[in-house]
């Protein structure tokens, strides 16, 4: 019996030695190759390009001066730029890799929108697209002494039919705004006979929201209508305004940021139709190109 135990222990010791030997002389597996440095450099370059775009866009927006024509006893006033872009987008179909949207206000209400787009169609350039949202006239002066003066107000408001009065709470008003937004639809690049064109999609989240300075309740919102992803070609404004009796009601207005023909519907009934604008003698919006010195 003792000899059997010694044999077992001897066999076990030999097995342990064999395993240890195998572990000692087993080739060490090679370490995983380092992460691909090309991916990191691409990310760094993309971030650097975004910063270059952002800095140029901001400088150009800050150098844009908008003067609102005097009305009644008021003096001409300068619109106030919202410090940061309210929307950022790209448009692959139109070769726009990066773009920002800027807003100017007066007494909390928006009075002007301006797109600053990187444009890669042909030689590298910038596209500047400006739209008045003022109910009066305005003048614009851009860096480089370029100027524009509107000939008509930028927007005209109409009451939203069959809409409940603006609610008394912020949450309920936000729900009302989004429900009203869903009642609008549009098409761009429509033929003269009303056929064809691309149906627009209304971006779910407002591009810009603003509140009543006194009550702090939501006063209005601007939604983008687009046919190419997230690039807003049309602007839908919905705002709580007072009627002739001083009662609040929801009203709407539209502004265009495209020269294409358009149709806009409310509850499937056409409410706005305009044809192509072949030149740049626009009444309340305009666009132009500038050379871009970097990619």
Which tens digits make up the pLDDT trace of 33-53? 555 667 888 889 889 999 999
Q: CB 123: neighbour CB atoms within 10 A?
A: 9
How do strand 158-159 and strand 147-149 relate by DSSP bridges?
unpaired
Please give the Cα distance from 99 to 116 (Å, whole number): 6
pLDDT digits (tens, 9 = 90+) for 224-280: 999 988 999 999 999 999 999 999 999 999 999 999 999 999 999 999 998 887 777
Q: Is the separation of the CB atoms in 142 and 128 below 8 Å? A: yes
Q: Residue 34 has what pLDDT?
A: 54
| Domain boundary assignment for the chain | 46-291
Q: Residue 278 has what pLDDT?
A: 72
* Mean of pLDDT values over 120-138: 97
pTM score? 0.84
* Mean of pLDDT values over 185-193: 91
Query: 3-state DSSP call for residue 255?
Result: strand
Residue 192: pLDDT band with limits 50, 70, 90: confident
Q: Which residue has the higher pLDDT, 13 or 76?
A: 76
Sign of CA dihedral 172, 175, 181, 183: negative
| CB within 8 Å of 85: residues ≥ 6 apart | 57, 58, 61, 100, 101, 102
As a dihedral over the C-alpha atoms of residue 156, residue 162, residue 168, residue 169, rounded to 10 degrees, the angle is: -90
């Amino acid at each position: 019996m003792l000899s059997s135990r010694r044999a077992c222990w001897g066999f076990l010791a030999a097995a342990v030695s064999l395993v240890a030997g195998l572990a000692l002389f087993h080739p060490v597996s090679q370490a995983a190759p380092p992460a691909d440095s090309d991916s990191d450099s691409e990310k760094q370059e993309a971030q650097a390009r975004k910063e270059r775009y952002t800095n140029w866009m901001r400088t150009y927006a800050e150098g844009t001066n908008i003067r609102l024509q005097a009305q009644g006893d008021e003096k001409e006033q300068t619109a106030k730029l919202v410090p940061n872009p309210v929307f950022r987008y790209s448009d692959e179909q139109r070769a726009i890799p990066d773009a920002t949207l800027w807003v100017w206000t007066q007494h909390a209400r928006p009075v002007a929108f301006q797109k600053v787009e990187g444009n890669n169609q042909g030689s590298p350039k910038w596209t500047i697209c400006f739209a008045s949202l003022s109910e009066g006239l305005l003048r614009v002066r851009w860096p480089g002494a370029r100027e524009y003066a509107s000939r008509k107000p930028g927007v005209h408001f109409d009451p939203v039919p069959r809409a409940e009065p603006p609610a008394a709470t912020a949450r309920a008003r936000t729900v009302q705004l989004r429900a009203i937004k869903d009642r609008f639809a549009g098409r761009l690049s429509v033929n003269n006979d009303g056929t064809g064109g691309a149906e627009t999609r209304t971006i779910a989240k407002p591009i810009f929201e603003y509140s009543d300075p006194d009550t702090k309740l939501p006063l209005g919102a601007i939604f983008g209508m687009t046919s190419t992803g997230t690039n807003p070609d049309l602007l839908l404004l919905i705002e709580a305004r007072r009627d002739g009796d001083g009662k609040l009601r929801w009203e709407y207005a539209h502004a265009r940021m495209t020269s294409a023909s358009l149709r806009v519907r409310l509850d499937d009934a056409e409410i706005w139709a305009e044809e192509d604008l072949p030149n740049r003698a626009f009444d309340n919006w305009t666009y132009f190109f500038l050379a871009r010195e970097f990619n």
